[in-house]
Amino acid sequence: MVQWGIIGCGDVTEKKSGPAFNKIENSKLVAVMRRNGMLAEDYAKRHGVPKWYDDASLLINDPDVTAVYVATPPSTHAKYAIEAMMAGKPVYVEKPMAASFDECQKMNQVSKETGIPLFVAYYRRTLPGFLLVKELLDDGRIGIPLMANIRLTRAALPQETDASNPSWRVDPAIAGGGIFYDLASHQLDFLDFIFGGIVDVNGISTNRAKLYDAEDTVTASYAFHSGVIGSGTWCFVTDSSANEDLMEIIGSEGKIQFSGFGHQPIRLITKQGTLEFPYLNPENIQYNLIKQAVESIRGKSQCVSTGETAARANWAMEQIVRR
């Protein structure tokens, strides 16, 4: 039985991840931690978790906790993940893996030295819709893949522009960057999954709206290990009329279009016409990846998202924003 402790039981753990730890066979959530003890206690009571803490070290060193899920903002991922691995406990950490590529490297070095596994929550690698995209490619439905392009634009959200209570997601000191780091990391990691790591990348980033300190508008061009090339455009301060969430893979015999976040039907477009396929997500969207992490810890199978694969997204993002 893998007995989990969560460090940082915030919004992402309410439905996306937290409940999955108790639904998966040979897995149990036994403790949670939040700096605000009242909120930690509230989470524990609502989710039926036996223990709660307001100190991460106490959770990490609890003998009943045998694996740790780090769900804090990126600036503390490395600190808590390294402490847990040094205590001999496997770690599942939220994405992006850390606030910087340097921190990712330090985390991976500790994992290598201790032999303790490190997983990262890039769960698109296990979702049926995204796996269908990979299956269509592997089956040659669009011929030879040539290009992989991303367009993600939307208006700023109220919590991103509230100067009295700014979101940590637009504070580079906490998030590593802005919304680009939070969202593009998922997209770049999925393309890494299907085409291999990025081997060449260039980008331009700027702060156009001056609503916060981080970049809000980003463009990039990149090439993957497989030879596929592509480009990305991200802007998080447009008018809502310009909202777009499109990932497109162009091949020698057609193209595949799908959304990175909206879970719109996948479109296969070839000379035979257009086919649409629905997304089919689990109730708790991280369930499939957490299950892989549990089975990997138990020595039953491998997990598709590790510290080694996840660090590549951080490296690419740093090259794009030239940080």
Give the domain CATH number at 201.
3.30.360.10
Q: Are residues 262 and 290 in the same domain?
A: no
Length of the chain: 323
pLDDT of residue 280: 87
Q: Are residues 137 and 213 in the same domain?
A: yes
pLDDT of residue 165: 87
Q: Are residues 84 and 139 in the same domain?
A: no
Confidence tier at 61 by pLDDT (50, 70, 90): very high
Q: Are residues 270 and 134 in the same domain?
A: yes
Confidence tier at 258 by pLDDT (50, 70, 90): very high
Residue 310 placed within a domain = no
Q: Are residues 48 and 62 in the same domain?
A: yes
Residue 101 placed within a domain = yes
Residue 154 pLDDT more than 90?
Answer: yes
Residue 205 placed within a domain = yes
pLDDT of residue 123: 98
Report the domain count for the chain: 2
Q: Are residues 61 and 193 in the same domain?
A: no
Q: Are residues 146 and 260 in the same domain?
A: yes
Which stretches within the chain are classed as H helix? 11-14, 20-23, 37-47, 56-60, 77-86, 101-114, 128-138, 158-161, 172-175, 179-195, 287-297, 307-321
Residue 77 pLDDT more than 90?
Answer: yes
Q: Are residues 201 and 110 in the same domain?
A: no
β-strand pairing of 91-93 with 273-277:
unpaired
Q: Are residues 115 and 137 in the same domain?
A: no
Q: What's the mean pLDDT in 163-168?
A: 88
Round the average pLDDT of the chain to a whole number and report it: 97
13: which residues sit within 8 A by CB, 6+ positions away? Answer: 6, 32, 43, 69, 71
Residue 319 placed within a domain = no
Q: The domain spanning residue 38 has which CATH number?
A: 3.40.50.720
Residue 311 placed within a domain = no
Q: Are residues 143 and 109 in the same domain?
A: no
Write out the residue range of the structural domain in which residue 146 sits.
128-280
Residue 21 placed within a domain = yes
**Alpha-carbon distance 221 to 202, whole Å?**
5
Q: Are residues 139 and 272 in the same domain?
A: yes
pTM (2 d.p.): 0.97
> Angle at which helices 128-138 and 179-195 pack, to 10 degrees?
40
Q: Are residues 274 and 290 in the same domain?
A: no
Residue 38 placed within a domain = yes
The residue among 148, 260, 313, 153 whose CA lies nearest residue 217 is 153
Residue 219 placed within a domain = yes
Contact 68, 90 (CB under 8 A): yes
pLDDT in tens, 176-210: 999 999 999 999 999 999 999 999 999 999 999 99
Residue with structure tokens 């694969």?
Answer: 309
Contact 127, 203 (CB under 8 A): no
Buried b (16+ CB within 10 A) or exposed e, 232-250: bebbbbbeeeeeebbbbbb
Residue 323 pLDDT more than 90?
Answer: no
**Alpha-carbon distance 260 to 247, whole Å?**
6
pLDDT of residue 102: 98
pLDDT of residue 125: 98
**Alpha-carbon distance 230 to 225, whole Å?**
12
Residue 164 pLDDT more than 90?
Answer: no
pLDDT of residue 166: 83
Q: How is the chain split among helix, strand and coil, in percent rounded to 5?
A: 40, 25, 35
Residue 279 pLDDT more than 90?
Answer: no
